[in-house]
Amino acid sequence: MADYAVIDPATGETIKTYPTISDADLEAAIGRAHAAHHGWSKETGVQDRAQVIRRVGELHQERRQELAEIIVREMGKPIEQSLGEVDFCVAIYEYYADRAEDLLKDEPIDLLEGEGSAFIRRSSLGVLLGIMPWNFPYYQVARFAGPNLLIGNTILLKHAPQCPESAAALEQIFQDAGLPADAYINIYATNEQIETVIGDPRVQGVSLTGSGRAGAAVAEIAGRNLKKVVLELGGSDPFILLGTDDLDSVVESAVGGRIDNGGQACNAAKRFIVVDELYEPFLEKFTKALSAVQPGDPTKEDTELGPLSSANAADNLEDQVKRATENGAKLVAGGGRDGNFFNTAVLTDITPENPAYKEEFFGPVAQVYRVSSEAEAVELANDTEFGLGSYIFTDDSDQALRVADQIEAGMVFINAVGAEGAELPFGGVKGSGFGRELGRFGADEFVNKKLIRVAG
């Protein structure tokens, strides 16, 4: 099988294969991106760069249907969710285009002593490598490329091997938007070739979204070569229910938080932690509502749950559920598969000794836990190697903030799921990585924050 190929997960059909880049062409691509950096960062003003980024967003909007259909066949995302992903990208590019000068303006520093002034001036670093995952083929690129191209960096983009068509479509959009051809270069590279790219002295940083294993490997290579790294890795996000006067609304949020993108999101709600007095009614309503969501044709507008992204993804999830039940977990409802279509499922009675307790479930399988108190909920929520997102549902505002302060995660959402935005920083702690994307903080990762001190 080719390293890069579009394999429709709904049918298993290999639609098209793409050749891997040669070592010589990869070397040339690095050189072209390096050469393009000076003109893009020094000779193109920030407002001109912003207009290109704005046009990138406009082209996403103009090609909305085409782009959405590509990722339906690449990774099985239902068409309405695919369209929604494209729309989110439009918002991201608009956000950075609208705030270009503000994000890059000089930042004065108050001197403690002495005459004169001091300030921070932000400038680009150079060539950056982006290593992107398959689960959000456009959104992941937008939150990396949008701010970094605006800053003046140039980009080499390695997409997931199952997303070559969307990768090519994105490169075409950047070129059609007026970006210099060599400022954004799509590379169909192997993992071995990527090690060479990271080690190249012309490459100044790398951003990866993916598994912990991939993140550790990239961080090790980058560390040896003294390169800046941003990592957005896995998550096993807790959904903590401590109190509510509208259980039906909470259940609706819980279902949405579990099945969006087929449950294949790093920051999806995965572990549902419920206090005693709400556990039984929540479990009953949640199980019924989740079980009502049936996998279907991802090309249909009313489909909420498509196939998992690949046969490998379905095999892994099936194995996780099997091992969980073999180690004492109770399969309350669901499970099973038809090809890559995986039924929703609910697991309970998961003990710390069960392998499921520590694993991330990447698919429409929910774990539900019973706790006796707020303190126990916090302890369970934090008892994981991950620390990406979290969700707290309570009708007590003081409790909400008190618990939020104790959660070991990069993001806490109170009484809401799906509340991400272009302006809100995204990232985690612990085994979920480091660094931030989106918002002002996302534009401050790969920059030279140069101090300029002027004497009186």
Is 266 known to be catalytic? yes
How long is the chain? 456
Contact 38, 341 (CB under 8 A): no
pLDDT band at 1 (very low <50, low <70, confident <90, very high): very low
Q: Can you give the residue ranges of every domain in the chain?
A: 4-232+431-454, 237-419
Torsion of the alpha carbons at 393, 395, 400 and 401, rounded to the nearest 10 = 150
Q: How many CB atoms lie within 10 A of CB 45?
A: 12
**Residues 230, 275: contact at Cβ < 8 Å?**
no
* CB crowding 48-70: b at 16 or more within 10 Å, else e: ebbbbbbbbbbbbeebbeebbeb
- Is 13 among the catalytic positions? no
Q: Which of 74, 85, 165, 232 is catalytic?
A: 232
The CATH number of 237-419 is: 3.40.309.10
Q: What is the pLDDT of residues 223-265, one digit of tens each?
A: 999 999 999 999 999 999 999 999 999 999 999 999 999 999 9
Strand order from edge to edge, sheet including 107-108: 107-108, 117-124, 447-454
Give the CA angle between residues 115, 121, 126 to the nearest 5°.
Answer: 150
State how far Cα 451 lies from the chain centre: 32
- At 2, is the pLDDT very low, low, confident or very high (cuts 50, 70, 90)? low
Q: Which two tokens stand for residue 32?
A: 């072209």
Q: Which residues pair with 232 in a beta bridge?
A: 209, 433
Would you tell me which CATH number, out of the four given (3.40.50.300, 3.40.605.10, 3.30.70.20, 3.90.1570.10), belongs to the domain 4-232+431-454?
Answer: 3.40.605.10
Q: What is the pLDDT of residues 36-55, one digit of tens each?
A: 999 999 999 999 999 999 99
Could you report the per-residue pLDDT of 296-326, keeping only the tens digit for each? 999 999 999 999 999 999 999 999 999 999 9
Q: What is the pLDDT of residues 196-215, one digit of tens each?
A: 999 999 999 999 999 999 99
Q: What are phi and psi of 323, to 5 degrees?
A: -65, -35
pLDDT tens digits, 87-141: 999 999 999 999 999 999 999 999 999 999 999 999 999 999 999 999 999 999 9
Instruction: Give dist(CA 259, CA 270) in Å, integer.
Output: 10
Q: With beta carbons less than 8 A apart as the criterion, state whether 442 and 147 touch.
A: yes
Alpha helices in 157-204 (DSSP H): 164-176, 191-199
Q: Write down the pTM of the prediction.
A: 0.96
Helices (H), 63-105: 64-75, 79-98, 100-104
User: DSSP secondary-structure letter at 309?
Assistant: S
Report the pLDDT averaged over residues 414-433: 97
- Of the candidates 89, 163, 266, 304, the residue annotated as catalytic is 266
Average pLDDT, the chain: 97
